Amino acid sequence: MGGRRMTLRGWVRVPRALLSEPWYREAPALVRALHEHLILSANFAPTTTRTGLSLKPGQTVTSWPALADALACRDKGRIVKPTVAKVRRAATLLENAGEATVCPTGRPAYTGIVVTLERWALYAGEATDAAEVAAEVAADRLPEERQHRKKEDLPSAERQSMKGNSQGNNADEILRCTAAARRIREAQDMAELREIRARERRGRQPHDPATTAGSVH
């Protein structure tokens, strides 16, 4: 498509509330696969392709044949690829659901398209959300229901005591997960900083004219 090579770094988030969306519950597997592929392929920052096409966050430039190739899968030892017509119908369902908008680009001729994810802000989680997500997951995993059933058989005084201890344990678990997420985020920032400094050092290295001349045949 003449665009810049997409980076595989970073991440996206998919809220569990998507499972309750009517369109998602009724969508065929191809529509769900296309939706996931577009989320993973979308640009996370403004960019310009080599052909001069400006893309916003949540947009990707592709083509119908390229999407058909990307959605191919292996079944019983053979490659099964959806037709372009089926991919177009799947995209139409996403458009009707308000999830995506498809516009032609004319590059390459008659096949180039720009896909815009209308709810990109829902999927493009910021790095600062990692602590919140970790805390929510930790809270969900606590066996609260099992503890509640056990406390029903205890005297009132003991139930009050266990309630206080349980709240303290929940808070401790959430704090631990939040701290772990913060350490991961700091490590990622340090790795990116080291990579930037390494590129700067490589750019400042002097060139040896003799070596340069000797490399020409």
For residues 213 and 207, give the distance between their C-alpha atoms in angstroms, rounded to a whole number: 11
The DSSP code for 5 is P
| Tokens representing residue 207 in the block | 């060139």
pLDDT tens-digit profile, the chain (217 residues): 444 455 567 788 888 889 999 999 999 999 999 999 999 999 988 999 888 889 999 999 999 999 999 999 988 889 999 999 999 999 999 999 999 999 998 665 556 899 999 999 888 865 445 455 555 555 555 555 455 555 555 555 555 555 555 555 556 666 666 666 666 666 666 766 677 777 666 666 555 545 444 444 4
Cα–Cα distance for residue pair 40/33, rounded to 1 Å: 11
Q: What is the rounded distance in angstroms from the CA atom of residue 61 to the CA atom of residue 31?
A: 18
The amino acid at 94: L
pTM: 0.56
Residues 7-24 pLDDT 10s? 567 788 888 889 999 999
Query: Which one-letter DSSP state was computed for residue 45?
Result: S
- Cis-peptide, bond into residue 57, ω within 30° of zero: no
